[in-house]
Structure 1
Amino acid sequence: MAEAAGWKADRNNANRDYALGLARGFAGALIFAFPLIMTMEMWWIGFYVEPYRLLLFLLTGLGLQVGLAYFSGFQPARDMTDALIGGVTAFGIGCLGSVAVLWLLGVLDQMQGWRGAAGMVAIQAVPAGIGAVAARQQLGGAPDEQTKEDRAGYPAQLFLMAAGAVFLAFNVAPTEEMVLITFRMGPWQILLLMAVSLLLLHALVYTVGFAGQEEPADEGFWATFFTYTLAGYGLALAISAYVLWTFGRTDDASIPMVAMMTVVLAFPGALGAGLARLVV
């Protein structure tokens, strides 16, 4: 009887913890995706983005969520199977949360048709899913749940930096202001923005530090700069270029213009990479 009672208590505790994790995931999805859900640019992207770009974006987002679920998902992951389940669950939370909020705000209606509605929800589900899977880091969790992230090696740390870059850059990537800012900046301002992005990223590396990283003073300035700062900024540039391509910002644009837009978007991306330990 005692063993049965203990097993039942453990199961109830596990169910309660999972329910709390799901609630935390929905809250994280809303916190991260809410500013994007209320922007017209994100609504229209779901209509005009090509299906193959949208599919690739969804697969990339799902892979990112599975990786994040392994390190710091809304529920602890013991292995990659748990991470896969957690990532898919976070993606489902992103879809459900996006449908609910878009419908509540009156954005979804019968006039759009299933193609437009599906594209709108799908494009919103990626940032919402990232917010869901990173909810434990955003909204708090047990202090002993971060051990896997603390032991992350260098390749895994680069992945977390990439996730941080996506986390922050995605808030401004769909907006028309990104294109307007690029038109208003001159070549010297673009170069200065690159230098400032590197400087701030390096300062964040020294201030925040990364999981599995030695103290910056032990590694030395240049080792830290080349290992983390330059690598993180390179990831921010690559992610920015990919997101701009997905949203169609690079279509019919000249190579210099694409390069300048990439640098502009990489500014918040670099900050996200530097804050990866805090946001994901």
Structure 2
Amino acid sequence: MATKRQKNVWKSEINDIIRGACGGFLFGIPLLYTMEVWWIGSLAKPQLMMMAIALMFIVVYLLNQTEGFRKRRYSWLAHHAAMDTVQAIAIGLACSAFVLLLLRELTPETSLKESLGKIIFESVPFTLGIALANQFLGDSRNTDEDQTAPQGNGASNNNQNDLHATFADVGGTLIGATIIAFNIAPTDEVPMLAAAVSPPWQLAMIAASLLISYGIVFQAGFSDQRKRREQKGIFQRPSSETIISYLVSLLAGAFMLWFFQKLTFSDPWTMWLDHTLVLGLPATIGGAAGRLAI
């Protein structure tokens, strides 16, 4: 019995961390593609770094009084809110460091001071996203509505429902991915990052995009997650839906790069590939947010 209770505690803790990290990715990924923040972080003095952490702690602590990233009601218990604030900051630092490594903005040659500055300043929106995860994206499912949903009449109606669910997901993915890609595609960060990313890191970027997308939609507990797992459609299994949504997000990113003339049809396919994969990471996260919204 004690072992089962301990397993449940660890499972709940892991789910909370995943939920917080996914909330951080949803809110913080656009700023990670901003070179001005890289420069500010690389030039920041230790006093400014400490001030950023202190301000981040105060804001996240106050946000944790209302909701936070855990599936529990918060109260004015200082030790609970303080502990969760420290954990939220730690998750934000870890997530921002991970993406900066993935984008090759942090390398073994980067000095410790520059690395810390970039990670701390990039972690600010991540940490705010972690603290706001439940408040904006909490699970709002209504089990009564799920149980009383119309059953339909026959295979024809089921096929129509499947097509409707599939097109809804593709549409939500396309809208979310386009909104994020629209803001990043015209900037100089994409070609700069694409030039630094080698094929092994491109594969790592694909894997990270798929895992983050899967986590946001199917693991973090946001917005009717149980209903999404039970939803029917042509590609409605979690794995196949994640892969199809990733491909749709890549198409949206490639179109935005062409739209803003960052890519042309005379460019080699390898240039299309590396630029699209770099933009595909934030576009996929936007696509996941779009699926949550439908």
Q: TM-score, normalised by structure 1?
A: 0.46
With normalisation by structure 2, the TM-score equals: 0.44
Whose helix proportion is higher, 1 or 2? Answer: 1
